[in-house]
Amino acid sequence: MPTTASIYYAHAKCLYGRLDEQQELRAIRRRFRTASIVNPAQYEKSDPYGWAYSVNFYLKLIDDCDVVVFSRCLGKITTGVGKEVNHALKTSKKVFELKAGKLVRRTRPVTYIQRRGTRLLYRQYRALLA
């Protein structure tokens, strides 16, 4: 992998800014030491107009990356992450799932929970933190 590689980190929005996110970023950096990491959480914080909330925005970010690394939230793949992963696979990107601190290559499309289920999952995650 070239030293200028970029990694898109697909993860549930409820992880943004949390300890879980920081731990996952460390695991990605261990595996891809010289790559730059594209974290969608950074774009969302800096977007006053809401454009970053569009799925197409994130898919375009993926198009400019070499690799996608994704994680599950409470064992499930959320809607946005699922769409990102399947888009990456469809466009022949290398995709890895972060599992227990290790990266596992994925080559097949993933199934994911729908939007309503994603919102319920976010509530469950927040309740665990309380």
Give pTM, 2 decimals. Answer: 0.90
Average pLDDT over every residue of 89-115: 97
Classify residue 36: in a domain, yes or no.
Answer: yes
pLDDT digit string, tens, across residues 93-103: 999 999 998 99
The pLDDT of residue 50: 56
Classify residue 42: in a domain, yes or no.
Answer: yes
Q: How confident is the model at residue 51 (pLDDT cuts 50, 70, 90)?
A: low
Classify residue 41: in a domain, yes or no.
Answer: yes
Beta bridge partners of 37: 7
Radius of gyration, alpha carbons of the chain: 14
Give CA–CA dist 66/75, Å, rounded. Answer: 25
Q: Which residue has the tokens 């690394």?
A: 69
Q: How confident is the model at residue 81 (pLDDT cuts 50, 70, 90)?
A: very high
**For the chain, what is the mean pLDDT?**
91
Q: What tokens were used for 28?
A: 């990605």
How many domains would you assign to the chain? 1
Domain that holds residue 21: 6-129
CATH code, domain with 114: 3.40.50
Classify residue 1: in a domain, yes or no.
Answer: no
